[in-house]
Structure 1
Amino acid sequence: MGLSLSTLVDIMITTFMCYFFRRNRPTFTDTIRIIDALTFWTIQNGSMTSTATIATLICWKVMPQNLIFLGLHFIVAKLHANSLLATLNARKQIWNGKQHTPTNDRSMPIVFLENFEHAPESSTIQQEF
């Protein structure tokens, strides 16, 4: 029951975060890029933790005589912590627009740009510190 609820909660959190990112998406070009990167990270981290939880649940149901599911269950907790730390560590790169794939030094593609034509031609974000 706990693993099923954990999987359901992971999927719900990922879905709701993506929904709220998309619903509250502004019209500024720079902010759209940041929201798109955050949406990409949310989908990536949510799918990773959900997949690990589903694998744990399957191993527990299919092979109850061994403890493989227990090893995977310990990994799930670490994946949650690592996905949070990866998101926190990527804040500066997301803000600067330098999201890179681990295999090469090319920028990751912006996934969601359907409302891009409605954005103003020149928009900048002013920061005050």
Structure 2
Amino acid sequence: MIVITIKATWCPVCRQQLLRIKEQLVDFEKCNASFVVISPGSNEAVQELKFNTDFPFPFIPDQNFSIAKKLDLILSEEEIMPAIVILNKDLSVKWIRKGRNALNFGDAELKDYLGCANWI
């Protein structure tokens, strides 16, 4: 399972990340990737983000930051560090790519790590 953490529901770069991955889902499906999106904020705000991006995987509000704390991704009382995390079956971290900006989204590193683009 691949977890995508969102800094905040209003974060435009994070929203763009979801749209970028959605455009590449054919490649990710080649290696059986499934996603879950974790975001701070109310359930309503998180569901609005899901609606606005039309990202076809579950969105989970992390209102008390319990998930972000376990992944050491707390930035402030209202924000978590954006990241892409691959979890093992026991939910331990197998791979993590912390941070995101308008020039470096991390999806290329994820595809390289998974080898999805190289599947026949």
Is TM more than 0.5 here? Answer: no
TM-score of the pair, normalised by structure 2: 0.29
Which structure features the higher share of helix residues? 1
> What TM-score, normalized to structure 1?
0.28
